[in-house]
C-alpha cells in the first residue's frame, strides 16, 4: 500500500509545487496512485484555504492531468474539508475530514499555528486550562464525519503538533485519554479509515506521526483501519517515511477507492 498517497497539497492552496510537478514526482517514485488535494475554502484563514473559484480551477487542472497521465498513474482529486469549511465538497473523488480550528463565541482559533497560540487560546477562553481546549478539540473531531461526510479521518490528534514532549499538556492525564477515546469511539462506528499522517515529521514539527502509537493501537483493537498519508506540501515529501509504518496499514482502509 505504500504506492498510494491520498493526502498531498499543491500551489493551489499552500503547497510549493504545481499539481503536474507532484504527478511527475509520483511517476519518478513509481507510485500507483496519487491523491491531489486542496483545502476547501473557509473564512478562518483565506491565506491557506482555496477560494471557491480556486477549488473549481483545481478540479479542472486535475481532470486535465488525469487525461494526460492516466495511462501511467491513477490520479485522484481530493478535498480536505475542515469542520468549518463553508463550500460543499462537490465534484471531488474523495474527502478528508479534519479539524484545524475551534469556535469560541464566533472567533475561530487555530489548533496548529503554534504552541504559544494554543496557550493563548487557553488563557483567553478557558482560564488557562489547556486540557479544556484539548477536550473541545476532540469533541469537535468526534463530529467531523457528520459535518463533512468525509471518506478519511485526517490527523486525528493534530492538537499534539507542538506537544510531542509534553510541553503543553500531559497525554497521560485521564482527561486527555477520556477525550480522545470518546472521539475515537464515535468515529470508529463509521468504519471510515484514520490516516497515519507523516506531514508534521517532514516539516520538522514532530519526530513521530499522527496519531500516536497508543491511539493507533486503540483503533486497531477496536476494529478500525489505518492508511498512510504524507500530507506533503511539496513533491520531495511524497510518501515521507511510509516504509516505517507500512506494517500498520490495513488493506480494508482503501476499500472506498473501489467505488471510484
Distant-in-sequence, close-in-space partners of 18: CB < 8 Å, separation ≥ 6: 10, 11
pLDDT digits (tens, 9 = 90+) for 79-138: 999 999 988 888 999 999 999 999 999 999 999 999 999 999 999 999 999 999 999 999
Percent of the chain that is helix, strand, coil (3-state, to 5): 40, 20, 40
Half-sphere exposure of 171 (CA within 13 A, CB side): 18
Q: What average pLDDT does the chain have? A: 95
Q: How is the chain split into domains, by residue range?
A: 4-100+138-169+176-259
Would you tell me how many other CB atoms lie within 10 Å of the CB of residue 130? 21
pLDDT digits (tens, 9 = 90+) for 192-217: 999 999 999 999 999 999 999 999 99
Percent with pLDDT over 90 in the chain: 90
The fold of 4-100+138-169+176-259 is TIM Barrel (3.20.20)
pLDDT digits (tens, 9 = 90+) for 20-46: 999 999 999 999 999 999 999 876 665
pLDDT digits (tens, 9 = 90+) for 242-253: 999 999 999 999
State the greatest distance between any 2 C-alpha atoms of the chain, in Å, as a whole number: 57
Supply the pLDDT for residue 88: 85
Q: Kindly report the pTM of this predicted structure.
A: 0.96
Amino acid at each position: 500500500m505504500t504506492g498510494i498517497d491520498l493526502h498531498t497539497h499543491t500551489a493551489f492552496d499552500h503547497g510549493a509545487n504545481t499539481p503536474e510537478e507532484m504527478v511527475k514526482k509520483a511517476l519518478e517514485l513509481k507510485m500507483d496512485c496519487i491523491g491531489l488535494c486542496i483545502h476547501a475554502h473557509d473564512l478562518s484563514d483565506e491565506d491557506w484555504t482555496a477560494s471557491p473559484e480556486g477549488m473549481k480551477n483545481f478540479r479542472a487542472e486535475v481532470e486535465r492531468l488525469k487525461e494526460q497521465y492516466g495511462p501511467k498513474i491513477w490520479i485522484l482529486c481530493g478535498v480536505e474539508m475542515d469542520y468549518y469549511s463553508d463550500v460543499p465538497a462537490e465534484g471531488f473523488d474523495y474527502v478528508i475530514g479534519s479539524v484545524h480550528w475551534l469556535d469560541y463565541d464566533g472567533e475561530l482559533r487555530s489548533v496548529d499555528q503554534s504552541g504559544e497560540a494554543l496557550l493563548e487560546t487557553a488563557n483567553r477562553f478557558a482560564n488557562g486550562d489547556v486540557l479544556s481546549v484539548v477536550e473541545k478539540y476532540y469533541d469537535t473531531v468526534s463530529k467531523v464525519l457528520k459535518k463533512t461526510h468525509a471518506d478519511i479521518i485526517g490527523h486525528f490528534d493534530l492538537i499534539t503538533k507542538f506537544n510531542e514532549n509534553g510541553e503543553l499538556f500531559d497525554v497521560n492525564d485521564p482527561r486527555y485519554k477520556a477525550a480522545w477515546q470518546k472521539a475515537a469511539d464515535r468515529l470508529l462506528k463509521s468504519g471510515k479509515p484514520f490516516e497515519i499522517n507523516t506531514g508534521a515529521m517532514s516539516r520538522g514539527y514532530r519526530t513521530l506521526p499522527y496519531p500516536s502509537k497508543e491511539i493507533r493501537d486503540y483503533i486497531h483493537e477496536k476494529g478500525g483501519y489505518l492508511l498512510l498519508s504524507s500530507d506533503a506540501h511539496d513533491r520531495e515529501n511524497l510518501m515521507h517515511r511510509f516504509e516505517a509504518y507500512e506494517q500498520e496499514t490495513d488493506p480494508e482502509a482503501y476499500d472506498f477507492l473501489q467505488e471510484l
